Amino acid sequence: MAKRSTPMEKAARLLDLVPFLYKNQGISIEMLAKEFGVDREEILSDLNTLWMCGETRFDLIGLEFASGYVYIRNAQAINLVRSLSTQEMISIFFGLDLLKDELGDQRPDLLKEIETLKSQINPELSSKVSANQAVSASLLEEIDKAIASRSLLEIQYHSVADDKYSTRIISPIEKVRRDGHDFLIAFCTVADSRRTFRLDRISSAKVVDLSSPSIAAPDEDESRISVTLKVHANARLLNETFDKCRELGDDKYQVEVFNTSWLVREIIASAGDFELLEPLNLRQEVVRQSRAIALQYR
């Protein structure tokens, strides 16, 4: 919390304190500090500064807080709730958009309320902002439930490398966020080791009890292998596709992957932008699979 405010931030807070205190006469200093998101020292400094303010030198704002509870008087001129700043409005619009996503079709009445709110607050500004959820709230809820109760989760997962949906039983450990995506780290009961699942590839999740049978063995190879690639174009895509990219110079990169079939797909998909240099067997695999595709058209 305690980040020292700039004079401007402080001035904004002082102005907002007045109408808030008028509405909440007798609020404790602790509660006041909490509401304003600052520590006790800062709010006391605020109250002391506010105490020195007023219409003239002889007509100061009346503040009483020695008792630990705050009372205000004689500040009617600024007993007005200040208009929302652009940043404040935008923060609300983003949040409302995400809420809309969560509510989905379940509460059309609330969806309507949200639209009304946006146009009440600032219709022009609301058209400049748009947010949407990457992962459904009900899915997150189920996952959170499983983590909290240490239960097993049955998930339908789109395995990108093999391009198929598979059902797995996992023991979720924690959610993490990396590079703009959410992941679930879990213990895969059949593979008997930790796996990482991208949340937006889980199409469904259900808490199951221990007596449920385990289903589907994953096909992934768990050990990482190191490959060397050469970039002929689109280096940005390389950095965004592969996690651990080490530049070797001369447009060559070393990359570590878990899943070689996924790697071969990405190389082929790059249509010649990426060249797999080593290991040789994978390089040959690229040729073999490209030929198989080309054969379809002969």
Partner 1 sequence: MSRKSERLVNLTIALLATSRWLTKSEIYRTIDGYSGDLDAKERMFERDKEELRKLGIEIEVGSFDPLFEDEVGYRIRPEKYKIQVSKLSEIQFSLISLATQMWRGAVLDSQANSALLKLKSLGIESDDEGLSLNPQRLDVSDENLLHIIDAISSKKVISFGYLNRDSVTQDRAIEPLGVGTKNGFWYVGGRDLDRKEIRLFRLDRFSSAVKDQGRASAFETPVDFSMSDLLKSQAREKQCRIKVRTDKAHALRKFSSLISSEDDWDLVDLSYASENQLLRDLLWHKDDVKVIEPEELVRELEKALERIETLHG
**Contacting residue, 190, 215, 217, 287, with partner 1 by CB under 8 A:** 287
Nearer to partner 1, 97 or 189 (CB): 97
Q: In this structure, what token pair is assigned to residue 268?
A: 């082929």
Residue 26 binds partner 1, judged by CB under 8 A: no
Contacts 24+ apart (CB under 8 A), 229-236: 229/253, 229/254, 229/255, 229/267, 229/274, 229/275, 229/276, 229/277, 230/274, 230/275, 230/277, 231/273, 231/274, 231/275, 232/272, 232/273, 232/274, 232/275, 233/273, 234/270, 234/273, 234/274
Q: How far is the CB of 23 from partner 1 (least distance, A)?
A: 5
Using CB under 8 A as the binding rule, the residues of this chain from 88 to 107 that contact partner 1 are 88-92, 94-96, 98-99, 102-103
What is the b/e burial string over 48-75, where b = at least 16 CB atoms within 10 angstroms of the residue's CB? eebeeeeeeeeeebebebeeeebebeeb
**What is the separation of C-alpha 16 from the centre of its chain, rounded to a whole number of angstroms?**
30
Interface mask toward partner 1 for 3-22; x: CB under 8 A:
----xx-xxxxxxx--xx-x
Q: How far is the CB of 142 from partner 1 (least distance, A)?
A: 10
Residue 34 binds partner 1, judged by CB under 8 A: no
Using CB under 8 A as the binding rule, the residues of this chain from 131 to 160 that contact partner 1 are 131-135, 137, 140-141, 144, 158
Q: In this structure, what token pair is assigned to residue 34?
A: 């909490």
Residue 27 binds partner 1, judged by CB under 8 A: no
Using CB under 8 A as the binding rule, the residues of this chain from 159 to 188 that contact partner 1 are 163-165, 177, 179-182
Q: How far is the CB of 44 from partner 1 (least distance, A)?
A: 11
Q: How far is the CB of 32 from partner 1 (least distance, A)?
A: 11
Nearer to partner 1, 70 or 267 (CB): 267
Backbone angles phi, psi at 84, to 5 degrees: -70, 135
Q: In this structure, what token pair is assigned to residue 84?
A: 């929302």
Using CB under 8 A as the binding rule, the residues of this chain from 233 to 262 that contact partner 1 are 233-239
**Contacting residue, 27, 28, 45, 218, with partner 1 by CB under 8 A:** 45
Using CB under 8 A as the binding rule, the residues of this chain from 104 to 133 that contact partner 1 are 110, 113-114, 116-117, 120-121, 124-125, 127-133
Residue 278 binds partner 1, judged by CB under 8 A: no
With tokens 């899915």, the residue in question is 139
3 state SS of 112: helix
Q: How many CA atoms lie within 13 A of 104 on its CB side?
A: 7
Q: In this structure, what token pair is assigned to residue 233?
A: 């174009």
Interacting span for partner 1 (CB under 8 A) from 71-79, 146-154, 186-194, 219-227: 71-79
